[in-house]
């Protein structure tokens, strides 16, 4: 159900990350929210236990009508109303009314996003760790090669490949620390109901939020309907990661110049016109991904300006910017890994 990989995605995409932003995973995550909400509310005595069971049953066998949901999405501007209506019709009364009880679309959509960001965060962290391991192994194997250091694109003084590899690794280590620090702010359930104040829950809003979050394996936080700093911070982090990898790509493209020849890349890109060429494609792609994510992170930050208790405009802007940011950062990690595996440092003769 993931969109087929296009030619461009084959170069610039990342299948695992892109799959998380597909329709099916989104719907499944929202269904997980609705089910957990009903169970949490039943456990708190807010809705009948039988309703929670009926809701869970209906969800477990629900097959979304994507054409219908698309149509509702286009009309409502958000997936919530269409999905809730379809589920309610399926559950029927008397239990249907307890679905999505005192919740709002944003609760389901945001929590559904976070449920998918959680494995994305773990995936990104393990890719960073793997890249750091690779850099460490390269340091052992090739660290002693002497390279010419360049400042302002001019020959400066010699450095070792170990120096270069360490300069590449240092920010990646910091990115792991940053990710660990921001994750508890990001990986939290969204609750708040129509206007963000969790009304209509009979004084049990906190208990429901805690039970919901526990069922979903997420953290608890005050309603963040209109405070998007957690999302934007994550997008900024993705740009930092892609930026550090873009620096590696830029270095490799420069070192791979024939006239410098300080790295060799196995399996460079072919040219349609010049058989003698071996293009440092991955290095260039890393630079392009860094620039694209830098720009996207700035656009995502425009979504901080949120009107009132919910901004359709600002929220929609997130949907246009966060997925391509995450996919581009993941693609950068993929390319960096492959590029570095193919890379050999070559000592400068003098």
Q: Which of residues 20-59 bind a second copy (CB under 8 A)?
A: 22-23, 26
Render 80-97 in DSSP notation, one character per residue.
HHHHHHHHHHHH-TTTGG
Mask: binding to a second copy, 259-298, rule CB under 8 A, as x and -? xx------x-xxxxxx--xxxxxx-xx-xxxxxxxxxxxx
| Cα(167)–Cα(256) distance, integer angstroms | 18
Binders of a second copy among 239-258, rule CB under 8 A? 239-240, 242-244, 246-247, 249-251, 253-254, 256-258
- Whose tokens are 């656009």? That residue is 299
271 is catalytic: yes
Verify binding: residue 142, a second copy, rule CB under 8 A.
Answer: no
Which of 49, 50, 65, 70 binds a second copy (CB under 8 A)? It is: 70
Burial class (CB in 10 A: 0-12, 13-18, 19+), 187: buried
Give the range of 52-60, 65-73, 90-98, 122-130 binding a second copy by CB under 8 A. 65-73
- Binding segment for a second copy (CB under 8 A), chosen from 40-48, 125-133, 138-146, 234-242, is 234-242
DSSP 8-state assignment for residue 149: E
* Sites for a second copy among residues 157-176 (CB under 8 A): 157-160, 163, 166-167, 170-171, 174-175
350 binds a second copy (CB under 8 A): no
Name the burial class of residue 266, with classes exposed (0-12), middle (13-18) and buried (19+) by CB atoms within 10 angstroms of its CB. Answer: exposed
Single out the residue of 20, 100, 116, 118 in contact with a second copy (rule: CB under 8 A): 100
Q: Is 6 in the site for a second copy (CB under 8 A)?
A: yes
137 lines the binding site for a second copy (CB under 8 A): no
- Nearer to a second copy by C-beta: 49 or 293? 293
CA 255, CA 112: separation in Å to the nearest integer?
A: 44
**327 φ, ψ (degrees, to nearest 5):** -65, -40
Cβ at position 101, least distance to a second copy in Å:
10
User: Cα-Cα-Cα-Cα dihedral of 173, 292, 114, 233, to 10°?
Assistant: 60
- Going by C-alpha positions, the residue among 6, 17, 2, 3 that lies closest to residue 335 is 17
Token pair, residue 77, equals 């501007």
* Binder among 105, 111, 183, 190 for a second copy (CB under 8 A): 105
224, β-bridge pairs: none
Active-site annotation holds for 310 = yes
Work out whether 61 is an interface residue with a second copy (CB under 8 A): no
Find the catalytic residue in 20, 88, 310, 334. Answer: 310
* Residue 262 Cβ vs a second copy, minimum distance, rounded to whole Å: 9
Q: Does 10 bind a second copy (CB under 8 A)?
A: yes
Residue at token pair 């550090």: 244
Q: How many CB atoms lie within 10 A of CB 70?
A: 13
The catalytic residue among 262, 271, 278, 311 is: 271
CB of 211 to a second copy, least distance (A): 20
Token pair, residue 175, equals 């990115």
| Cβ nearer to a second copy, comparing 49 with 146 | 146
Give dist(CA 76, CA 103) in Å, integer. Answer: 16
Tell me how far apart the alpha carbons of residues 257 and 79 are, in angstroms, rounded to a whole number.
Answer: 50
Q: Tell me: does residue 229 bind a second copy (CB under 8 A).
A: yes
Among 140, 141, 197, 266, which residue interacts with a second copy (rule: CB under 8 A)?
A: 197
Instruction: Residue count of the chain, please give it.
Output: 350
Binding status of residue 60 toward a second copy by CB under 8 A: no
- Residue 219, classed as helix, strand or coil, is strand
Q: Which of residues 306-325 bind a second copy (CB under 8 A)?
A: 306-314, 316-317, 319-321, 324
Distance of CA 213 to the CA centre of its chain: 20
Can you read off the two tokens belonging to residue 341? Answer: 């595996």
Q: Which is nearer to a second copy, 70 or 140 (CB)?
A: 70
The catalytic residues are: 271, 310
């Amino acid at each position: 159900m993931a969109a087929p990989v296009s030619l461009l995605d084959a170069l610039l995409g990342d299948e695992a990350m892109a799959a998380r932003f597909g329709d099916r995973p989104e719907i499944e995550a929202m269904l997980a929210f609705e089910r957990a909400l009903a169970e949490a509310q039943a456990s708190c005595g807010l809705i009948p236990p039988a309703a929670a069971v009926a809701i869970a049953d209906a969800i477990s066998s629900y097959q979304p009508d994507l054409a219908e949901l698309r149509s509702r999405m286009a009309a409502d501007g958000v997936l919530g109303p269409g999905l809730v209506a379809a589920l309610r019709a399926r559950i029927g009364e008397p239990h249907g009314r307890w679905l999505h009880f005192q919740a709002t679309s944003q609760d389901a959509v945001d929590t559904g996003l976070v449920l998918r960001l959680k494995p994305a965060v773990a995936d990104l962290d393990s890719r960073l760790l793997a890249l750091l391991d690779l850099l460490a192994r390269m340091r052992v194997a090739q660290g002693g090669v002497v390279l010419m250091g360049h400042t302002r694109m001019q020959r400066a003084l010699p450095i070792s490949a170990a120096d270069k590899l360490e300069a590449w690794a240092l920010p990646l280590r910091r990115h792991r620390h940053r990710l660990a620090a921001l994750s508890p702010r990001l990986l939290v359930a969204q609750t708040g109901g129509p206007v963000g104040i969790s009304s209509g829950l009979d004084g049990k809003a906190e208990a429901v939020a805690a039970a919901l979050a526990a069922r979903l394996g997420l953290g608890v936080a005050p309603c963040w309907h209109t405070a998007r700093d957690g999302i934007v911070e994550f997008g900024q982090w993705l740009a930092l990661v892609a930026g550090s990898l873009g620096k590696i790509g830029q270095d490799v493209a420069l070192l791979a110049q024939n006239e410098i020849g300080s790295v060799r890349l196995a399996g460079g890109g072919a040219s349609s016109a010049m058989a003698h060429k071996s293009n440092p494609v991955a290095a260039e792609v890393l630079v392009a991904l860094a620039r694209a994510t830098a720009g996207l992170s700035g656009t995502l930050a425009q979504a901080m300006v949120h009107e009132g208790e919910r901004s359709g405009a600002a929220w929609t802007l997130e949907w246009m910017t966060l997925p391509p940011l995450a996919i581009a950062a993941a693609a950068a990690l993929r390319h960096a890994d492959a590029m570095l595996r193919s890379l050999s440092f070559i000592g400068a003769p003098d």
